[in-house]
Structure formats: C-alpha cells, structure tokens
A and B are shown apart, each in its own frame.
Chain A
Amino acid sequence: MTMLGYQNKVLRVDLTKKGAKTEPLRMDWAEKYIGSKGLAIKYMYEELKPGIDPLSPENKLFLTTGPMTGTPIPCSGKLSIAAKSPATGTMNDCSIGGHSALQIKYAGYDMIILEGALKEPGYLLIEDGNVQFKDAKVLWGRGSHETEMLLAEKHGHDHSILSIGPAGENLVPMACINSDYYRQAGRGGIGAVMGSKNLKAIVIKGTGGVKIPDIVESTKKITQILREDTLQEDNTFIYDFGTTAFLEACSDGGILPRKNFSDVTDENWTKYNGEVLLEKKVGKRGCGSCGLGCGNFLKFGDAIVEGPEYESIAVAGPNAGIDDPEAIVKFNQVADDMGLDTISAGDTINFAMEMTEKGVHDFGIRFGDKEKQIEYLKLMAKREGVGADLALGVRKLAEKYGGEDYALHVKGLEYPQYEPRGSWGMSLAYAVSDRGACHMRAYAPNEEVFAASIPPYTAEGKGEMVYNLAVFNAIKFSLCICDFWATISFERMAELMTLVTGKEWTEQDMKDVGERVIHIARAFNQREGFDRKDDTIPKRLINEALQSGPAAGQKIPQEAFDDMLDQYYAVLGWDKNGIIPEDILCRL
C-alpha cells in the first residue's frame, strides 16, 4: 500500500557497520499516526527494546517528516527527531525548524532511522540515494556554528545540516541538535543520543519532489487557505514580533517566572522586552515552506542570534535575576554554539544560583551574575570544573546536594518558563507531558491567561481542558504543522490531509489520531515503568504562594493537583494510577 504525499520509503542507516538500505514505510502505521511526532513514536515503541540505556548503541534516532513536508502547504517544514531520552528515560520527540525536513523528503525519504554507533567521530553525507560515512575528527570539539559553517563550505550551502556541539559529544543530558545555525531540537538530551553514536553531523541534500493529487487544483486551494487562514492577524503577529511578544503578556498575566520560580513579574522587564530587543533586529528568516517567518536576527555587540525566543529570554533574564538584553542574547548564542538546550541549561544554573544564595551548596554563582552564567554554559558543555556537576541537571543536582523544595522539573526535565501558580492547568500539562516538563504538549495559558476563557486558579475542568489542548497539539505536530499557525482547526487539518493524500480524512479522524498519539507515547513510558508517581508537581508550587502579580497569594493545593490528574486520566480512559487498560493498548 502506498499513499500520495508520502515517499513511502525509510532510509535505515547502520552506523556500526557503516551500511544503509531503504525499506517501505509502514503505511499501516502511517494511516494511524500520520507522520512526524506520531509516526516517530510508533516506530520507537515498536523498535526500541524496553529498558535500554538511552546512550547505548541500542537506542535509535528517528528523523521523521510528514505527508505535508515538501508540499506547498504553509508552515509544514518542521522535522521530528525522536529517541529514548537520556534525561528522563521516557520517549522523547523534538521538533526542529529550518530546512532539513524538506531535504530529507526531497532526497526520497519519509524517515531516516539511525541505528548503532560509529566507532570514531564521523558525519553522514546524504545526497538523494547516495549515503556516505565521513570522518569528523577535525570537527570534534568544535561548536555547532563553526561545524555547520565548515560543512556548508565543503559540501555547499544548498545542503541542510544537523549537528551537535561539545555538549552532545560529552553526552550532557541537556544537549540539543542544531540546524540552520540557530534552530534546535532542544529538549531531553536528544543531542547526547547523537553524540553517543559518535555522529557529529548529518549533511543532506535532496533534488526530488513530492507527489500530491492534482497539483494545479491543490495549489489553488492551498494558496486560498494561506491567504484566508494562515495569514490572519492572529498568526501574523509572529512575523512582526516573534515570541518576544509573549514577554509583556506573560509579565502582565502573572506567569513570567523570576529567580528560579521564587516569584513572578520582574519590575525591570521593560529593559529587555520585545521592543528593546527588536531595535537590534538585523534580519528576518522563516523555515522551509513557512508562510509566517517568525525568526528575527538580533545583534548586540559581538553576539548575534536568531531569536532569542521567549523561553530563552525568560530563563536567562528574569528567572536568573538578569535584566541586561545583551547578556541574554549572548547566553542564547553561547548555548546554541555549545549545543545546549537553553531551557534546561538555564534552569540548572538558576537552581545553582538559589542553592548558593540559600547557603545550601556553594556553586560560586548568584542571581544576576551574568558573566558567570555564560562561563558556566561552556563548563557544562565540556563537563569541566563546576560544569561537571551542573551538567547533571536540576533533578540530579537536588538529589546530590539538596534543594528538592525548589527543584523545578518533571521526570527529570527542567521546567519551561510559564509559571503554573498563575495558570493551574499548566502544572497538569507539565506533569502529564510525555517527555517530562514540556510546554509544547498542552499550552494552558492560551485558555487560562491569554484568552481568559477559563478561570486560572481552580482545578475544575482542567483535566478536559488539558486533554483537548494535548490532542490538538499531538495531531498538529504529527502533520508537522508549525505551532505558530495557531488558527488551524481540526477541520482544516483534515482538509489538508485530503488534499495531499487523495484519501478522505475527517475532523474526527484528526481527533482520533491525536488521542492515539497521546496513548502510544504513554504506552512507551508505561513499559519503562512510569505511572502516576512520576506525574508530579514541584513542591515549590504547592508550598509557596506567589508574592506579586495578578496571581499573588496563589499556590496549588496538592488535592487540587491530584483532582486535575484524576480528571485527565479519566478523560483518556486510564486507571487511577495512570495506567492504560489493555483494551486501549491492543488498539494502538
């Protein structure tokens, strides 16, 4: 069975034996999980043996596109990279922008699976059907930016490059994979998995195309959808402001964290808000197939980044007690080059700052220490000096030195920068997220803060709210549609699927796939021993009330959190312990 929109082909690379072969894509799985996130998790569930060490050759990297990748459908250029996470032991799928997804598809593949490990540092060169294993000893130890520049000069700037920095080489569990210099598959140590395979980079160029039904009529319809849906004001703000627009809204909304989540709303936020940052804009960029172009290049002194995005601004700024925009941009640039996830690396440093301030353990850094913050990133990536400890991440640092009361993580993945005491549903979203604390699985502030449609400081209705948000994102990311096409509906997704595959899809199909993706991710984690005991809320959110902002006085009672968890499990048909019953498991 084949389907239009797909290449119907997987490239399977054996890094140990330095061999590559193609095989048909499992279309029976594609029908149930579509592509990108969902399909990657299904493959991971079927192919990874339970209990494997995420940093062993038994782990695999699944680079997965979707049926819309490489078509004229806007905002469809993202790539899912999945593997078992060394940070959490859960499944982990990351979404990365840039152009690599299109190159993979144009090279003739829906998916590339990387197995085993190279014996010595190397990189992969994939040009259509030609796969070559190249020596990377000269690149090993270099930053991601320099690595990408050298490889682009050697193989051509028309190739896409996915690379790791020193953090990935040194198996730091918060290492990311970079592409197009400033785009990241950021979370859960996906870069460490690549490093464990001695794989410094993947260089890829495709020259083919993607077949969809009746290209002329389809393109007309897609152009109309672009004009009428994608390019609405609700979406185009991202072109003008990028995610810097979130800073002021989060500050006013009472969910901008400050000093390791000890409070919210930094009085100095105007020093580094979107308007200040965007004064330094020197360029714009979007991913392949993008209709919105969220990327802003900012230059402060000798530091230049595409961004910084809201998460990086918040973690390196107010959550670190820093209000200097140049320091924030520099932090972002160094983290990218070192190949570190800004969220986890920033949170870990912020935790160390509080530990030092409280006299629990002296890490030699305090809130506001912007020079050391950047120096520590480099030490973490290389596991040198104090960086050897900090590279452990918040959970393991707390286990080693204390500070569990203000260690903000779920399952070992550090907290993103939306403070849940101002948006209670977010504590549930973080707790039940398949890869640990992630804001991309269900984005509760949308409902509780920014749209003000659901009261934020109550448990009531939050199970269903988070479920609805999670189903929406699960299908959206399985189609490989970018988060910033915010107005897309289930109905529109079904329409687009019908356009590219020629097969009829309904709104209900989309919802069913979304729910199935949540189940399969949970099933992977369940097999690894995860259950309710791991769907946690950090103690700080239960024990300490916020002191300022609109949510002043708010904390989340344990009973309220437990209630939200019960509601969420019930909507999905899981038992009280968060276990998926057999009748659902056997349908996956």
Chain B
Amino acid sequence: MILPVLSSLMERSIMKITIQLRGSLVKYFQGEKERTVEVPDNCTAEEALRTVGIDWTAVKNFGFVAVNGKRVMIYDHLKEGDELKAYPKISGG
C-alpha cells in the first residue's frame, strides 16, 4: 500500500510547465526562447524561474512575469501545463 501512495505523492510533487524568456533574458537559455521544464508542484513563478537558474532579484533589468498570456505577481502559484513568460524591463513609448 505504501508504494502507490509514495508514487502518487511523487507524481504530484513534480509538474511540467513551459518557460518563455523575452528580449535580453534569452541569454539565460543560451539564446533559446522557450523550454519545457519540470518544477515542484504548485510552485510560484519565482521558484520556477530559480529552477532554471534565474534569480529575478539579481537580474538588474528584470521586468515582469505573465502566465498563459496574463500578467501575474512573481509570488503567484503555477499549475501543470502553465506557460510562464518572463520579460525584461521595457521603457519608452
């Protein structure tokens, strides 16, 4: 009985999402715009970015994040299949 429970927990503990980087942030993906990655279940946008080596607080020109085409807060939670997008600062008019 224990194994199925553990297995279930493990299934829930990891989820797949897509991370897209915009503008100058693509350097963190060596020029790629998008990667599908495994991240802890129910993690925040901030945690998801950390799994691919981006600490947004240390990126001087970090702008904002969007999930599935809508701007969210960096501490908002993600779910399986989400498309997380990170933007650098944009200025001008």
| B23, B73, B93: residue with the most chain A Cβ atoms closer than 10 Å | B93
Whether, in the assembled complex, B87 has its beta carbon less than 8 Å from a beta carbon of chain A, the answer is: yes
Contact of B92 among A236, A251, A265, A443 (CB under 8 A): A443
Q: A246-B90, A483-B92, A486-B91 are in contact. Are A449 and B71 (CB under 8 A)?
A: yes
Q: How many residues of A contact B (CB 8 A)?
A: 33
Whether, in the assembled complex, B29 has its beta carbon less than 8 Å from a beta carbon of chain A, the answer is: no
Q: How far is the CB of B75 from chain A (nearest CB, A)?
A: 11
List the A side residues contacting B64 at CB < 8 Å.
253, 449-452
Q: How many residues of B contact A (CB 8 A)?
A: 22
Q: Is the CB of B91 within 8 A of A265?
A: no
Scoring B residues 34 to 48 as 1 if CB is less than 8 Å from chain A, else 0, what string do you get?
A: 000000000000000
Q: Is the CB of A252 within 8 A of B88?
A: no
List the A side residues contacting B23 at CB < 8 Å.
233, 237, 241, 245
Q: Is the CB of B66 within 8 A of A234?
A: no
Q: Is the CB of A549 within 8 A of B22?
A: no
Q: How far is the CB of A376 from chain B (nearest CB, A)?
A: 26
Scoring B residues 16 to 29 as 1 if CB is less than 8 Å from chain A, else 0, what string do you get?
A: 00000011100000
Assembled-state Cα–Cα distance A439/B92 (Å)? 9
Whether, in the assembled complex, A550 has its beta carbon less than 8 Å from a beta carbon of chain B, the answer is: yes
Scoring A residues 305 to 318 as 1 if CB is less than 8 Å from chain B, else 0, what string do you get?
A: 00000110000000
Assembled-state Cα–Cα distance A311/B92 (Å)? 11
Q: Is the CB of A253 within 8 A of B24?
A: no
Q: A450-B63, A452-B63 are in contact. Are A237 and B70 (CB under 8 A)?
A: no
Q: Is the CB of A252 within 8 A of B71?
A: yes
List the A side residues contacting B63 at CB < 8 Å.
249, 450-452
List the A side residues contacting B49 at CB < 8 Å.
none
Assembled-state Cα–Cα distance A253/B71 (Å)? 5
Q: Is the CB of A233 within 8 A of B61?
A: yes
Assembled-state Cα–Cα distance A549/B60 (Å)? 27
Q: A233-B61, A234-B61, A452-B73 are in contact. Are A245 and B90 (CB under 8 A)?
A: yes
Assembled-state Cα–Cα distance A440/B60 (Å)? 24
Q: Is the CB of B69 within 8 A of A265?
A: yes
Q: Is the CB of A249 within 8 A of B70?
A: no
Q: Closest chain A residue to B65 by CB distance?
A: A452
List the A side residues contacting B66 at CB < 8 Å.
252-253, 550
Assembled-state Cα–Cα distance A439/B93 (Å)? 7
Whether, in the assembled complex, A243 has its beta carbon less than 8 Å from a beta carbon of chain B, the answer is: yes
Q: Is the CB of A233 within 8 A of B69?
A: no
Which residues of A from 483 to 538 have beta carbons under 8 Å from B?
483-484, 486
List the A side residues contacting B92 at CB < 8 Å.
238, 243, 246, 443, 483-484, 486
List the B side residues contacting A249 at CB < 8 Å.
22, 63, 87, 90
Q: A237-B24, A450-B87 are in contact. Are A254 and B93 (CB under 8 A)?
A: no
Scoring B residues 56 to 85 as 1 if CB is less than 8 Å from chain A, else 0, what string do you get?
A: 000011011010011111100000000001
Whether, in the assembled complex, B50 has its beta carbon less than 8 Å from a beta carbon of chain A, the answer is: no
Q: Closest chain A residue to B27 by CB distance?
A: A233
| A249, A265, A416, A446: residue with the most chain B Cβ atoms closer than 10 Å | A249
Whether, in the assembled complex, A248 has its beta carbon less than 8 Å from a beta carbon of chain B, the answer is: yes
List the A side residues contacting B73 at CB < 8 Å.
452
Whether, in the assembled complex, B89 has its beta carbon less than 8 Å from a beta carbon of chain A, the answer is: yes
Q: How far is the CB of B18 from chain A (nearest CB, A)?
A: 14
Q: Is the CB of B89 within 8 A of A450?
A: yes
Q: Is the CB of A451 within 8 A of B89?
A: yes
Q: How far is the CB of B47 from chain A (nearest CB, A)?
A: 17
Q: How far is the CB of A155 from chain B (nearest CB, A)?
A: 33
Q: Is the CB of B91 within 8 A of A452?
A: no
Assembled-state Cα–Cα distance A484/B60 (Å)? 17
List the A side residues contacting B69 at CB < 8 Å.
251-252, 265
Q: How far is the CB of B30 from chain A (nearest CB, A)?
A: 15
Q: How far is the CB of A478 from chain B (nearest CB, A)?
A: 17
Q: How far is the CB of A280 from chain B (nearest CB, A)?
A: 20
A-B contact pairs, 20 of them (CB 8 A): A233-B23, A234-B60, A234-B88, A236-B24, A237-B24, A249-B63, A249-B87, A251-B69, A253-B66, A254-B70, A254-B71, A446-B90, A450-B63, A450-B87, A450-B89, A450-B90, A451-B63, A486-B89, A550-B71, A550-B72
The 4 closest A-B pairs by CB, nearest first: A486-B91, A252-B66, A233-B24, A550-B70
Residues of chain A touching chain B, judged by Cβ–Cβ distance below 8 Å, are: 232-234, 236-238, 241, 243, 245-246, 248-249, 251-254, 265, 310-311, 416, 439-440, 443, 446, 449-452, 483-484, 486, 549-550
